[in-house]
Amino acid sequence: MSTDAPSRLHLRALGAEDADALHSAVRASLQTLSRWLPWATEAYDLATARAWIAHCARMREADEEHHFGVFDDASGALLGGIGLNHRIPAYRSAHMGYWIADAARGRGVAVAAARQAARFGFDVLGLQRIAILVQPDNGASLRVAIKLGAVCEGISRDAIVFQDAACDAVVFSLLPRDLAPSPADAGGD
């Protein structure tokens, strides 16, 4: 397999047994993640990882949010996280957020994971629209949205808060018909 091809991966809900792996992946990627994610700080510890996993379980049980760990099939390693949140059931919509550990970046993992999460949203949750909001300078996340097939709708002013400051966001929408096929869907690997 070329280094550009994503590993075979799967998404699953994080469990208590994943707390150490989550903590390790975040800590190892802190310098990259902290540029874009407000929770990725020097204060991120094992208790924070455990609290996040418990939060995810409560939100999943309430059918309000669905967060997943991204796992490598061969090694079982945690490669990152992805979630569908800010659900509005009446509008059949949600937002998607994702992060990938530094060790797994540049291999198509984020796009493959986002495709799986989007399919879950459309096929299982019955969503008709998934929004992806990205800070304009976050080139990696912008590329993921584009490769996924999401359509850029423009800039939403002061749409997100990061480090206590309002920030603009590039808004992408993904509809079922926009979802780019994976190479496996086309018969490739």
For 107-139, the pLDDT digits (tens) are 999 999 999 999 999 999 999 999 999 999 999
DSSP state of 36: T
Average pLDDT in the chain: 92
Q: Would you say residue 188 lies in a domain?
A: no
User: Is 126 within a domain?
Assistant: yes
Q: What's the one-letter identity of residue 128?
A: Q
Do residues 84 and 121 lie in contact, with contact meaning Cβ atoms separated by under 8 Å?
Answer: yes
The answer as to whether 185 is a domain residue is no
Range of the domain at 107: 9-178
Does residue 1 form part of some domain?
A: no
Cα–Cα nearest to 147, from 104, 171, 114: 114
| 84 touches 64 (CB < 8 A) | no
Query: To the nearest 10°, the Cα dihedral for 19, 117, 34, 17?
Result: 0
Q: Does residue 95 lie within any of the structural domains?
A: yes
**Who has greater pLDDT, 9 or 2?**
9
Q: Are 148 and 179 in contact (CB under 8 A)?
A: yes
pLDDT for 46 beyond 60: yes
pLDDT at 159: 96
Portion of the chain with pLDDT greater than 70, in percent: 91
Query: In 3-state terms, what secondary structure has residue 86?
Result: strand
Specify if 3 maps to a domain: no
In which region does residue 186 sit, left (phi positive, over 0), alpha (psi from -120 to 50) or beta (all else)? alpha
CATH code, domain with 66: 3.40.630.30
- Confidence (pLDDT) at 183: 60
Domain count, the chain: 1
- In one letter, which amino acid is 167? C
In the prediction, which pLDDT does 180 show? 66
pLDDT over threshold 50, residue 157: yes
Asked whether residue 183 is domain-assigned, the answer is no
pTM value is: 0.90
Write down the pLDDT at residue 6. Answer: 55
Lowest model confidence (mean pLDDT) among 6-15, 33-42, 135-144, 148-157: 6-15
> What residues contact residue 80 under an 8 Å CB cut-off, 6+ apart?
25, 69, 70, 98, 99, 100, 101, 104, 109, 110, 113
